[in-house]
Copies of this chain bind each other. A is one copy, B any other.
């Protein structure tokens, strides 16, 4: 278990105890080639189906929020019904496919630089996020 040792270290370094539940969730979230977007529901479905481990829904919530707080996950709000999480924690923008409800990363180089000419007085800019909603060409 080479990869597992990495996650143990990662968790320990964050002050999180490496429990088997957290390690399983790490595997699902971070042991992939590409980053991805998911809802809590997606995640618990993946755990149920692909992993031989029953993790309480409360633990999934706890863990996702713990990972978000440690900066290993990002939360993305597209509509108020569901909350999306992102394993890509870098500053980046998103396409949102309104037909399929899918989030797609939009890399910095796919979009012109964004300059804020006038800011709110007495405040510092914390993040700039662009959301591009796309739809099918054919009218429905």
Residues of A within 8 A of B (CB): 75, 77-80, 82-83, 95, 97-99, 104, 106, 109-120, 122-137
Q: Are B126 and A128 in contact (CB under 8 A)?
A: no
Q: Are B111 and A111 in contact (CB under 8 A)?
A: no
Known interface pairs A82-B80, A134-B126. Does A114 touch B117 (Cβ–Cβ under 8 Å)? no
Q: Are B124 and A137 in contact (CB under 8 A)?
A: yes
Integer count of this chain's copies in the complex: 2
- Kindly name the residue among A116, A131, A133, A136 whose own CB sees the greatest number of chain B CB atoms within 10 A: A116
Q: Are A131 and B132 in contact (CB under 8 A)?
A: no
Q: Which of B77, B109, B125 contacts A132 (CB 8 A)?
A: B125
Question: Which 3 pairs from chain A and chain B are nearest by CB?
Answer: A80-B83, A123-B134, A112-B115
| Whole-angstrom CA separation of A128 from B118 in the bound complex | 19
Q: Are B110 and A111 in contact (CB under 8 A)?
A: no
Contacts of A114 in B (CB 8 A): 111-112, 114, 130
